[in-house]
Amino acid sequence: MELLIQNAKLVDEAAEVWADLLVKDGKIAAVGKELDCAGEVVDAAGLTLMPAFVDLHCHFRDPGFTQKEDIETGCRAAAKGGYTAVNLMANTNPVCSDMETVRYIRRKAETMGLVDVHQCVSVTKNFDGRTVEHLKELDDKVKLISEDGKGVMSNHVMAQAMKIAKEKGLTILSHAEDMEISPYDYRLAENIATAQHIHLAKYLGARLHMCHVSTKEAMNEVICAKIGKAPVTCEVAPHHLWFTDSDYRVNPPIRTKEDRDFLIWAIENGYVDAIATDHAPHTAEDKKNGAPGMVGLETAFGVCYTILVKERRLPLTLLSRLMSAGPAKILGVQKGRLLPGYDADFALVDENREWVVDAAQFASKGKNSPFDGVRLQGKVVRTIKAGKTTWQE
């Protein structure tokens, strides 16, 4: 199967060019002018073609909490947001602590064909906070492990998990929260756990990825680790780049303007590896009762384009690195660039489109978004995976 996309502005992490792009058998075959195509031709004049987005941090709530989200609705939300690959957290019911649960989730996603779904396994078995022997049984379908939703409280347990992860080539995703401190100071809880996990990773040589970094102090710890060549990467969430001093409940919380501005400074100076949504759907009743989290897949590009590109004047190539090439590298997939040989996964976006978020129209079951009613600029109008359209406005 062939597909030719003509007349678009092509933007990835390295370049911004006007060219055509040819797809053959699900891969990018050529980028240039006057390319021949035996299949479909798409005239994308006035639009920007970017590598599809990769989200390192999602919750699809399946198995066990499908009243909030399931694999199908999660995949549809991802496709609508321009994503073709997501990594799911393990806080399901049962907790994803074994290959049987991983295979169940992957099979469901594969029948959809919309998004490549990767699944984290929990750092400790069933989140018991102690047992890590199950990590030795994981096969190469698992690339990342995480206790997301809670912090690993024991440094000894985290060290044991890091040793196994290093042996198996796994990356640990850290939900940095000292849960003994968080009841009275969420900020200190993040800062202390961030420092602990980074020092363990440096000592043991294990690959560590810091999730949803939200404070200036935590980001400084990451920056120091990077300067010291430690095997540490990090992500920030769109809502922490947009909101300040808000009481909308997410974990970690919305921080101060000083924190937000420092996160953006860290992005501008190359210290942030990825933007991840922490897509966390809840029922209206659960959210009313205080459940932390918000949905983010369908608003992420618009939020990040508006705050980073339009308001802060950062280049779209940098946003492409954060939403595509950076997370793809951490996940170890051949996505995120507009080069021959890479997966033919694209987001066609209209940079000039202004739109108002309407949570009622989300493909996700979750409608819990503080962006409901917010005006954004930059909208995904078509998503293509392996040369096939998975969503179109």
DSSP state letters, 1-45: -EEEEEEEEEE-SS-EEEEEEEEETTEEEEEESS---SSEEEE-T
Strands 274-275 and 232-236: parallel
d(CA 182, CA 100): 33
The DSSP secondary-structure symbol of 130 reads S
Question: Helical H runs in 133-185?
Answer: 155-168
d(CA 31, CA 29): 7
CA distances, 229 to each of 203, 208, 213, 233, 357 (Å): 12, 12, 19, 11, 40
Closest CA to 50 of 272, 268, 238, 304: 304
d(CA 387, CA 295): 27
Q: Nearest-5° angle of CA 155, CA 230, CA 177?
A: 35
d(CA 189, CA 194): 9
User: Which residues are part of the catalytic machinery?
Assistant: 278
